[in-house]
Amino acid sequence: MTKIKITLPDGSAREYAKGITAGEIAFSIGKRLGEDALVAKVNGKLKDLFVPINEDSTLQILTFRDKEGLEVFRHSTAHLLAQAVIELFPDAKLTIGPLVEEGFYYDFDIAHHFTPEDMERIGQGMHEIVKKDYKVERIELTESEAKKLFKDNPYKIELVEEFHKEKQPLSAYRQGDFIDLCRGPHIPSTGKIKAFKLTKISSAYWHGDQTKQQLQRIYGISFPDKSMLEQHLKLIEEAEKRDHRKLGKELEWFNFFEESPGAPFFYPKGAVIYNQLLNFIRAEYKKRGYQEVITPLLYDKSLWVTSGHWEHFREHMFTLESEGREFAIKPMNCPSHLLIYKSKSRSYKDLPLRIADFAPLHRNELSGTLAGLTRVRKMSQDDAHIFVALEQIEGEISRVLDFTNFIYKKVFDFDFEVELSTKPEKFMGKIEDWEKAENSLKHALENNKIKYKIKEGEGAFYGPKIDFHIKDALGRGWQLATIQLDFQLPERFDATYVGADNAKHSVVMIHRALLGSLERFIGILVEHYAGKLPLWLAPVQARILTVADRFEKYANKIKEEFDENNLRVEVDARTESVGYKVREAQAQKIPLILTVGEKEESKGAVALRTIDNKVYFDVKVDNLLDKVF
Amino acid sequence: MTKIKITLPDGSAREYAKGITAGEIAFSIGKRLGEDALVAKVNGKLKDLFVPINEDSTLQILTFRDKEGLEVFRHSTAHLLAQAVIELFPDAKLTIGPLVEEGFYYDFDIAHHFTPEDMERIGQGMHEIVKKDYKVERIELTESEAKKLFKDNPYKIELVEEFHKEKQPLSAYRQGDFIDLCRGPHIPSTGKIKAFKLTKISSAYWHGDQTKQQLQRIYGISFPDKSMLEQHLKLIEEAEKRDHRKLGKELEWFNFFEESPGAPFFYPKGAVIYNQLLNFIRAEYKKRGYQEVITPLLYDKSLWVTSGHWEHFREHMFTLESEGREFAIKPMNCPSHLLIYKSKSRSYKDLPLRIADFAPLHRNELSGTLAGLTRVRKMSQDDAHIFVALEQIEGEISRVLDFTNFIYKKVFDFDFEVELSTKPEKFMGKIEDWEKAENSLKHALENNKIKYKIKEGEGAFYGPKIDFHIKDALGRGWQLATIQLDFQLPERFDATYVGADNAKHSVVMIHRALLGSLERFIGILVEHYAGKLPLWLAPVQARILTVADRFEKYANKIKEEFDENNLRVEVDARTESVGYKVREAQAQKIPLILTVGEKEESKGAVALRTIDNKVYFDVKVDNLLDKVF
């Protein structure tokens, strides 16, 4: 029997009989891997587990934990759905069933309108198919075989002709009596789909074209075990409760209007959050030697040609015309800061020069991609550009990392992961400058005791960068801070400095935004804290509730004390029950609820209820001022 | 002898013999008036003083203090200049000699290039013509007479033909041997021009058309006495020294770049001024019940159609296209605030609702009209819109006036004049609402003890308004605050509130900006204070100078104390002389210069020199913190 050599991802190699399948190899490695295996990568190509391997190959067994494993699993669930629909509604015509970010869907051409009861029955049907644990088979087809097989389905016929024209091989997958045109791969049997949920039904059109046949689309999500599905559904529910668009509107913090797509309106309370964040960053800037500037928004085309944005970013800019000149609204601040840098001759004594700017930026994003505060057309970044000499990179990056660490860890207590992206194949500048720069970044990370992964070759062509990804309270990842070295832009603008040697030198630019856009950061914070913002950011920090009318004077007296200390405090002296007033304050996500009555007034105190429902009696106002705020 | 009746501006009437001249009447009223008289308005029309009056007429004698008197005086000075040039350079061909804002000019076609020495000689020549005190005569001409008279001057021939075509009467003015085509009127004799100065020479083109003959333009200014000229020249010199564009650049506070016409770059020090002003207004807003919002800059055309800007203001807006929709960058905030107002149902309990916004605004001003910070394309206003019920107008306007008075008088100590503009002929809304509103404004002004002039009928068609004009340190007037009532815009947006009667009512909107645009206000402040800004606005409030290296530590220790108190203090520890360092700090317009040496360190004190050069020794740092800042 001929032997073949199978090389695994860890580099180890094993010998197997020719014709062995990836599924069998998985079991030979371990029972658990055999059971979890969904699909394989043979010589870098995705293949069904049941396809025989006939030559020396590299092999990777994929499970649900691998992105491609997950995708195949969900795609197989789409087939499972289609099979159940066909069994219940034999008249339905199958069209396509691809993946989406959250699961999968399948589009059906059927005269009958699916009802919630139908969805129940379809789910039942799917469960039965899972129980039967059909083996999945792959069938290679010629064009004529395919056309014969799907002769009753004009959609599949259209697809067959399309694939044939593009010279793609044709194949179908069978499980039990069900067969569907599909290029695969698929999981080996229907029994693996232990948990799924049909989430939504909507209408669609063949090829997304409103002039074509209307279809019914069923969405779903699936997992290899029930606990994963339950966890997912809980997360979805929690995420919906925390959705910043929903909370922003309910709490009257911010909102959007159709007249200005992708551009948030911050209402008075939202503007407090915005300005608190901005002032926090400003105060740090003062300590850390940054200098704020205020710059124009509209610039002549010539500036964007110099910066390269006209060539590479034009479709993302809003452009307009005035007096025969073309202008663009700025999508980023770098060119403005280069104009400032170049407005006078700079010496090595001026470096590092740290220029900060909160200017509103505009990007002409497709309206379909806009999503609350996290994907906008108008935003302000906590943006700064630092001009340094090559030998200052390490020290300055170290300072920027300290700043980032301070914000993420000390102020917001976010977990984060860090990636260093290095020189790509196509790069600009001298190789030894890149090496120096990359080493500087590594040293700076190590000096700050920040763990990082290296993404080899994934830097921009104009310089290496460091990215921060935070995890929010629901475990969702968000890319936030970017610290980007740039050798190129200063060169395009001929930005230099005079060194101690009296000669001209190229200056290096560091682009850095630590919160990213203020808008997006606020969106993330609202969801991370489920609206219960830290005291210093809360639009209203405390509300004083009277237990009866006669304590309004005392309540107002306390409020004045808070006002003098520049705190944000309200009085609720309405003749409602305390319980009602507490519930309202809680719904408003106010961190501190202070109740005042007979006893409190006599002691110069308040009863304090925190947002986590901890209650403290007889809290002296001075103590509150000293210790809580 | 026939008598005619002459009615004077005060309504009194006098009888004179038919054929009397306005000049003679002026003398009959008083010698001083006779001497000061330059020109007259007979039955509302400007006439030479020497023209006989032959019928009952109204008469106004104009002197240099009247705008039209001043204009005729300057125009006559242009003739004086032309006469002197022709006497010295008989080959020069006269073209035109009109007024400009600062004086007058005359354009000459002459091969010889005027030198500074020529200007001297021309000035001398003018003085001699003044001394000769030529009588000025008016000569009415037919077209053929005019063409004959000016046959050697193609420019005048062209003008004659033009005037004739437009059916304008033709006339010339003669003084001595000099004669010029002119519609007049003119002052009666050259002797009245007691003081003048030729200020500038530049090149020009006939009809401003670069394809036509190049001309030489001589500019000048003139006054009826020398002290006025001297005062004027001093003012010009002082204004040039204080020019905010010059100071802004020298002090590195702000600057402009060709890439963004009319849009200032505030450098770090300028941004401090900007943010200090903004935070001052913010702090007042908090006390006065205003709520800040942060709003988008780009809005769909439909919003501007609703607001009426698309019809009336479109050419001043920057417009652009995205995904087939037309957008405009906002030139003002009102429509944004109406969207917010209308985002929920409003009750009488919500009013007055005061919405404040510092959003950058853009107006597509002609690039030729842009001038430093005082005429820009991009600006932010200390803008707010107040929504009130009709009966709340008086109370709310009273509060706005108190706010304005506080800023102008208490904070900046500006003198100001106030105008109330009332219902114009064409107005919108009910006449009784206008009456109520105007009475409310009057009462509010009176309650605040603010003197005001009424500008009858000069209100906007959508509501009456109050304007504030301040006077700066050079006596120049600036229109600043506007408080504008608006009945119309809320109606266009159908903005209402539910009254205590449970019925819907129209809401009234108050547009108000007290500093106006922050940019323009900063420009005015810089010139008003000649760069020596009040302590709270100064970008650097104090600079600590060491008398020798060894006091650097002490200087830094003091600086830290100031830093902790959020003050803006620098240390100059260079090994330069104290005198040199003081001069540099003064040139930087730093309000407080603190010198530290042996004696100061031993006493925990500083030597203090103020920006007005007052010196105080042994000032304790605590005292500085308590009493100066």
Compute the radius of gyration of chain B from its Cα atoms: 31
Residues whose CB falls within 8 Å of the CB of residue A498, separated by 6 or more in sequence, listed in order: A345, A346, A347, A348, A504, A505
Mean pLDDT calculated for residue range B304-314: 93
3-state secondary structure A105-137: EEEEECCCCCCHHHHHHHHHHHHHHHHHCCEEE
In the set B41, B93, B309, B465, the catalytic residue is: B465
Distance of alpha carbon A42 from alpha carbon B519, whole angstroms? 66
Mean pLDDT calculated for residue range A474-487: 91
pLDDT at A430: 86
Chain A residues near residue B258 by CB distance under 8 angstroms: 300
Q: Are B451 and B438 within 8 A, CB to CB?
A: no
A399-403, B118-122, B485-489: least confidently modelled range: B485-489
Find out whether the peptide bond into B90 is cis, omega within 30 degrees of 0: no
Q: Are A473 and A530 within 8 A, CB to CB?
A: yes
User: What is the topology classification, in CATH, of domain A3-63?
Assistant: Ubiquitin-like (UB roll) (3.10.20)
pLDDT at A505: 95
Distance of alpha carbon A606 from alpha carbon A594, whole angstroms? 6
Q: Are A75 and A221 within 8 A, CB to CB?
A: no
Distance of alpha carbon B524 from alpha carbon B372, whole angstroms? 11
Residue with tokens 């025989």: A52
**With an 8 Å Cβ cutoff, is B294 touching chain A?**
yes
What average pLDDT does the structure give for chain A?
Answer: 95
The helices-and-strands tally (H runs, E runs) of chain A is 20, 36
How does DSSP classify residue B9? T
3-state secondary structure B417-448: EEEEECCCCCCCCCHHHHHHHHHHHHHHHHHC
Distance of alpha carbon A184 from alpha carbon A170, whole angstroms? 10
Residue with tokens 């069998």: A24
Q: Are B110 and B155 within 8 A, CB to CB?
A: no
Q: Are A572 and A543 within 8 A, CB to CB?
A: yes
**With an 8 Å Cβ cutoff, is B81 touching chain A?**
no
Residue with tokens 């792959």: A138
When scoring B251, B254, B255, B259 by the number of chain A Cβ atoms within 10 A, the one with the most, hence best to mutate, is: B259
Residues whose CB falls within 8 Å of the CB of residue B478, separated by 6 or more in sequence, listed in order: B469, B470, B471, B472, B524
CATH of domain A70-241: 3.30.980.10
Q: Does pLDDT of B628 surpass 80?
A: no
Mean pLDDT calculated for residue range A447-468: 93
Domain spans of chain A? 3-63, 70-241, 276-295+331-528, 542-628
Distance of alpha carbon B231 from alpha carbon B237, whole angstroms? 10
pLDDT at B390: 92
Shortest Cα–Cα distance, A174 to chain B (Å): 44
Residues whose CB falls within 8 Å of the CB of residue B212, separated by 6 or more in sequence, listed in order: B205, B206
pLDDT tens digit sequence for A224-252 = 999 999 999 999 999 999 999 999 999 99
Q: Does pLDDT of B627 surpass 80?
A: no
Q: List the one residue out of A357, A367, A383 whose CA is nearest residue A263.
A: A367
Mean pLDDT calculated for residue range B428-434: 86
Q: Are B486 and B444 within 8 A, CB to CB?
A: no
Q: List the one residue out of A93, A189, A175 whose CA is nearest residue A139.
A: A175
Cα B485-B487-B493 angle, rounded to 5 deg = 120
B208: confidence class by pLDDT, cuts 50, 70, 90: confident
Looking at chain B, how many residues does it have?
629
CB contact under 8 A, B297 and A360: yes
When scoring A298, A358, A522, A540 by the number of chain B Cβ atoms within 10 A, the one with the most, hence best to mutate, is: A298
Mean pLDDT calculated for residue range A441-446: 95
Q: What are the tokens at A268?
A: 């008075």
What average pLDDT does the structure give for chain B?
Answer: 95
Looking at chain A, how many residues does it have?
629
Distance of alpha carbon A577 from alpha carbon B68, whole angstroms? 73
User: What string of DSSP letters covers B116-166?
Assistant: HHHHHHHHHHHHHHHHHTPBEEEEEE-HHHHHHHTTT-HHHHHHHHHHHHT
Q: Does pLDDT of B586 surpass 90?
A: yes
SS3 content of chain A, % helix, strand, coil (to 5): 40, 30, 30
Amino acid occupying residue A124: Q
pLDDT at B427: 86
- What is the value of ipTM here, to two decimals? 0.84
What does each C-alpha distance from B59 to B5, B13, B26, B52, B604 come to in angstroms? 10, 10, 10, 12, 75
Those of residues 353-372 in B touching chain A at CB distance below 8 A are 355, 360, 362, 364, 366-367
What does each C-alpha distance from A180 to A72, A220, B463 come to in angstroms? 15, 18, 72
Bridge partners (DSSP) of residue A109 are A93
Superfamily of the domain at A276-295+331-528: Bira Bifunctional Protein; Domain 2 (3.30.930.10)
Q: Are A484 and A512 within 8 A, CB to CB?
A: yes
| pTM across the whole model | 0.84
| Distance, CA of A444 to chain centre | 27
Q: Is residue A511 among the annotated active site residues?
A: yes
Q: Does pLDDT of A588 surpass 80?
A: yes
Distance of alpha carbon B269 from alpha carbon B273, whole angstroms? 7
Count of CB atoms situated within 10 Å of the CB of B597: 17
Q: Are A416 and A471 within 8 A, CB to CB?
A: yes
Q: Estimate the crossing angle of helix A518-528 against helix A226-242, to 10 degrees.
A: 120
The sign of the CA dihedral A485, A487, A492, A497 is positive
A253-257, B101-105, B244-248: least confidently modelled range: B101-105
Q: What are the tokens at A193?
A: 């789909």
Closest-approach residue (CA) in chain A for B267: A293
Q: What are the tokens at A487?
A: 């050798």
pLDDT tens digit sequence for B67-105 = 999 999 999 999 999 999 999 999 999 999 999 988 999
pLDDT tens digit sequence for A529-540 = 999 999 999 999
Shortest Cα–Cα distance, B530 to chain A (Å): 22
User: What is the topology classification, in CATH, of domain B542-628?
Assistant: Rossmann fold (3.40.50)
In the set B383, B433, B467, B472, the catalytic residue is: B383
Those of residues 573-592 in A touching chain B at CB distance below 8 A are none
**With an 8 Å Cβ cutoff, is A259 touching chain B?**
yes
pLDDT at B175: 97
Count of CB atoms situated within 10 Å of the CB of A352: 18
Residue with tokens 């610290």: A483
Q: Are A48 and A39 within 8 A, CB to CB?
A: yes
pLDDT tens digit sequence for A188-201 = 999 999 999 999 99
B587 backbone φψ class: left, alpha, beta (φ>0; ψ -120 to 50): alpha
Q: Does pLDDT of A408 surpass 80?
A: yes
Distance of alpha carbon A578 from alpha carbon A598, whole angstroms? 14
Mean pLDDT calculated for residue range B602-623: 92
Distance of alpha carbon B198 from alpha carbon B196, whole angstroms? 7
Instruction: Work out the burial of residue B4: count CB atoms within 10 Å of its CB; fewer than 13 is exposed, 13-18 middle, 19 or more buried.
Output: middle
Residues whose CB falls within 8 Å of the CB of residue B327, separated by 6 or more in sequence, listed in order: A318, B298, B299, B300, B301, B319, B320, B321
Q: Does pLDDT of B1 surpass 80?
A: no
pLDDT tens digit sequence for A100-151 = 988 999 999 999 999 999 999 999 999 999 999 999 999 999 999 999 999 9
Residue with tokens 């936030």: A480
Q: What are the tokens at B306?
A: 């609703």
Q: List the one residue out of A293, A274, A275, A415 whose CA is nearest residue A354.
A: A293
pLDDT at A252: 97
A7: confidence class by pLDDT, cuts 50, 70, 90: very high
Tally of CA atoms within 13 A in the half-sphere of B445 that contains its CB: 21
Distance of alpha carbon A572 from alpha carbon A550, whole angstroms? 13
Mean pLDDT calculated for residue range A375-383: 97
Those of residues 451-480 in B touching chain A at CB distance below 8 A are none
Q: Is residue B381 among the annotated active site residues?
A: yes
How does DSSP classify residue B548? S
Chain A residues near residue B259 by CB distance under 8 angstroms: 299-300, 302-303, 339
Q: Are A376 and A347 within 8 A, CB to CB?
A: no
Chain A residues near residue B271 by CB distance under 8 angstroms: 291-294
Chain A residues near residue B343 by CB distance under 8 angstroms: 255, 257
Q: Does pLDDT of A628 surpass 90?
A: no
